[in-house]
Chains A and B, each alone.
Chain A
Amino acid sequence: MRFGVVIFPGTWSDMDFHHVISQVLHQPVEYVWHRDTDVDRFDCLVLPGGFSYGDYLRAGAVAGRSPIVAALPGFVARGGLVLGSCNGFQILCEAGLLPGTLLRNDCLQFRCQWTHVAVEQTESPFTRGLRRGQVLKMPIAHGEGRYHVDQGLLRQLQERDQIVFRYATEAGEVTHAANPNGSVWNIAGVSNEEGTVVGLMPHPERAAETSVGSTDGLLLFHSVLGSLVENGSVLGR
């Protein structure tokens, strides 16, 4: 159950993820430089948040064309899992590994705050241990998190159950007021069709210890760990 935490120039949440995986979950984890394409020793790769390449051109645009991202489709096809948080989510969208894109928050403010998200699907390895409708408390910290897809693609994502998290109130109601950035349909996280690539704007790694105010982010990791050891083997590999 080996994790890799990918570092691009300008990534800033890599150490948080590394800390949670190694010190809280006690799993083997390595940093992976963005030029490294030899990733088959990992079961799960994490693309952390930050400001890769200074958000130049578009958030995640330059990192989305880096060697390790080009290696991700093959990694996923061979059974690997990918989690992108914040800038990692933006990178996965820019690379076309996840549908849609992330635009400037409609309020134009950088939002650094706690949010609640309702779990929309529990088929992905990252949400398998969760209940549909379960509310998770995780922080966000971004200026460009307004998830956008056109109406046709939104319907397709709904039909294919690719919407993973939606911004909601603490009680789990999906309301306009609970949407911190103007995302379409309050979408906070989506997956690919297979559920093996998940991206979300909130930071699960910053909600993994009681001392920081929430441990709900750990539930994503516990889901993954449960998935990885399913049937006594690592994802059948």
Chain B
Amino acid sequence: MRARIVVRLRPGILDPQGTTIQRALEGLGFPEVRDLRVGKVLEMTLDETDAMRARERLDEMCRKLLANPVIEDYTCEVVESDERRRAR
């Protein structure tokens, strides 16, 4: 199955990259942009058929490596099950 993990900077952590991008957008005529934050998206294929088990494993991956709990939050989701991929 396919899975997607989104890692975000926690609220309150200064994101100078986000601020710079927001300023660039403002310069290009997008003054309505506010609170822009940069995160990471990790997509992967898992050799796993049980969605519940997959979510547990994804969570473990985040805790062990993919997110730094001092500064980051994460969300994991199973995007597409094998069944749906076969049906396609």
Interface residues, chain A, with chain B CB atoms under 8 Å away: 57-58, 61-62, 65, 93-94, 100-101, 103-108, 146, 148-149, 182
Interface residues, chain B, with chain A CB atoms under 8 Å away: 13-14, 16-17, 20, 40, 64-66, 68, 70-71
The answer on a CB contact under 8 Å between A148 and B71 is yes
Nearest B residue to A58 via CB reads B68
Bound-complex Cα distance A101 to B64 (A): 15
Which residues of chain B are near A61, meaning CB under 8 Å? 65, 68
Output the least CB separation between A96 and chain B (Å): 9
The answer on a CB contact under 8 Å between A101 and B71 is yes
Task: Contacts A100-B70, A148-B70 given; indicate if A65 touches B64 (C-beta within 8 A).
Answer: yes
The answer on a CB contact under 8 Å between A182 and B14 is yes
Nearest B residue to A184 via CB reads B14
The answer on a CB contact under 8 Å between B14 and A103 is yes
Which residues of chain B are near A65, meaning CB under 8 Å? 64-65
Bound-complex Cα distance A61 to B64 (A): 10
Q: Which of the residues A100, A103, A107, A108 comes within 8 Å of B13, measured between beta carbons? A: A103
Bound-complex Cα distance A175 to B61 (A): 40
Which residues of chain A are near B17, meaning CB under 8 Å? 104, 108
The answer on a CB contact under 8 Å between B65 and A57 is yes
The answer on a CB contact under 8 Å between B16 and A106 is yes
Output the least CB separation between B36 and chain A (Å): 14
Nearest B residue to A103 via CB reads B71
Output the least CB separation between A94 and chain B (Å): 7
Nearest A residue to B20 via CB reads A108
Task: Contacts A106-B14, A106-B16, A108-B20 given; indicate if A57 touches B66 (C-beta within 8 A).
Answer: yes
Which residues of chain B are near A57, meaning CB under 8 Å? 40, 65-66
The answer on a CB contact under 8 Å between B68 and A94 is yes
Which residues of chain A are near B71, meaning CB under 8 Å? 101, 103, 148
Interface centre among B14, B65, B66, B68 (most CB of A within 10 A): B68
The answer on a CB contact under 8 Å between A148 and B20 is no
Which residues of chain B are near A107, meaning CB under 8 Å? 16
Bound-complex Cα distance A219 to B22 (A): 44
A-B contact pairs, 18 of them (CB 8 A): A57-B40, A57-B65, A58-B68, A61-B65, A61-B68, A62-B65, A65-B64, A100-B70, A101-B70, A101-B71, A103-B13, A103-B14, A103-B71, A106-B16, A107-B16, A108-B17, A108-B20, A149-B70
